[in-house]
Amino acid sequence: MELIVETNSMEEGSPESLSQMKGVSHLWESGITKVPKRYIFPVPDRSNALLNMAAKSNLKLPVIDLALLQAPESHFHTLESLKNACETYGFFRVVNHGVPSEVIRRMMDVGKRFFELPFEERMRYMSNDIRAPVRCGTSFNQNKDGVYSWRDFLKLNCSPLSTCLPHWPSSPLDLREVGREYAKQTKSLFLVLMEAIVKSLGIDTGIMREFNDGTQMMIVNCYPPCPEPDLTLGMPPHSDYGFLTLLLQDDVEGLQVQHEDEWLTLEPIPNSFIVNIGDHLEIYSNGRFKSVLHRVLVNSSRSRMSMVSLHSLPYERVIGPSPELITRESPRLYKDTDFDEFLKYMATSESSNKTFITSMKLNLEQN
């Protein structure tokens, strides 16, 4: 995730090194017709992107209508649907979510305009400090990745929003205003969904007080067209570390979810959010809800944009299975963890099939 080019595989200051530091948007704008070697995934890890896109094997996610969730006569049924989505898919779609369409439109627009800024402007926010309130970069984890991903990103820390906001980019001029409103709206949506999810587990909702002061990270992703999309990935298979991730897509397909050992594409639907379970919620639910692998494909004709809002408990909070979900019949399945544990994992792991949750599972046979 950090923007540092390793010099053991290319000469520092070489044209290739400097070009890759500028990200994949720069590569595309330079008119390349071949994917640079550093972005070519090994054959077993490739997506066969062209075949995947042609097959149109879309996954029809469960749809959670927030209006029905909040209506007394349909609340219980919708809660059961939400629980089933978390158990079966680890992903669901939210409609009637209350986030104004104008807020969504403006956020997508300002994100697009950020990546249209000159490289010199974006370079001001490049950092290898994962705790920095702003980070602009490329790939997934450029410190460790043996192969780079076809993605540029802008990460905006929102915790707490009042402290982080002055550090956010001042260009485009409306980025802070638009981003602040979008962050507030998605935080409110997260709190509504998280309370419903906790209720669906049949446990006390007291943890919701901690989510009010929890962490939020927004990521603006840009996936430019790629001359050879079948050789690379926008993001390799990975799971998300927090409790819930709220994703907003534009109208270009690319996101795929692993379901029943198949990679299936999630169709973009305007003004809807895709929500997925993160590693922390799988741990907290003691494995009842699943944090599943997902990845991003790229294409040769259209740029793709997405807005990601990741939510969890405060950084210092130790997260483990809820005591209410641990019984003799359902023993504890996961270790305790915190944000520092995740950072250590990120610092020592390559991104291919990255799954932090696997490292948190207890080996019950040894207990």
Measured in degrees and rounded to the nearest 5, phi and psi for residue 147 equal -125, 135
Q: Which CATH class is domain 49-361?
A: mainly beta
Give, for 162, the enclosing helix (H) or strand (E).
helix 161-164
Burial of 134 (0-12, 13-18, 19+ CB in 10 A): middle
Task: Tell me what percent of the chain is helix, strand and coil, each rounded to the nearest 5.
Answer: 35, 20, 45
Give, for 21, the enclosing helix (H) or strand (E).
helix 15-21
The angle formed by the CA atoms of residues 163, 167 and 173, to the nearest 5 degrees, is 120
**Residue 348 has what pLDDT?**
67
Bridge partner list, 245? 276, 310
Bridge partner list, 95? 65
**Residue 5 has what pLDDT?**
30
- Residues 6 or more apart from 301 whose CB is under 8 A from it? 225
**Residue 53 has what pLDDT?**
46
Give, for 307, the enclosing helix (H) or strand (E).
strand 304-312
Length of the chain: 367
Cis peptide leading into residue 172 (ω within 30°)? yes
The angle formed by the CA atoms of residues 49, 54 and 59, to the nearest 5 degrees, is 85
Cα 107 to Cα 103: distance, rounded to the nearest angstrom? 6
Cα 178 to Cα 192: distance, rounded to the nearest angstrom? 22
Cα 58 to Cα 18: distance, rounded to the nearest angstrom? 38
- Residues 6 or more apart from 328 whose CB is under 8 A from it? none
Contact assessment for residue 225 and residue 302, using Cβ atoms and an 8 Å cutoff: yes
**Residue 354 has what pLDDT?**
53
pLDDT tens, position by position, for the chain (367 residues)?
333 333 333 333 334 444 455 789 888 988 999 999 999 998 888 866 444 444 446 788 999 999 999 999 999 999 999 999 999 999 999 999 999 999 999 999 999 999 999 888 988 898 777 778 899 988 766 656 678 899 999 999 999 999 999 999 999 999 999 999 999 999 999 999 999 999 999 999 999 999 999 999 999 999 999 999 999 999 999 999 899 999 999 999 999 999 988 899 999 999 999 999 999 999 999 999 999 999 999 999 999 999 999 999 998 999 999 999 999 999 999 999 988 888 777 766 654 455 788 888 987 654 4
| Token couple for 313 | 């408990």
| Dihedral sign for Cα atoms in the order 166, 171, 174, 179 | negative
Closest to 187 (Cα-Cα) out of 102, 98, 105, 255: 98
**Residue 12 has what pLDDT?**
36
Give, for 326, the enclosing helix (H) or strand (E).
none
**Residue 119 has what pLDDT?**
85
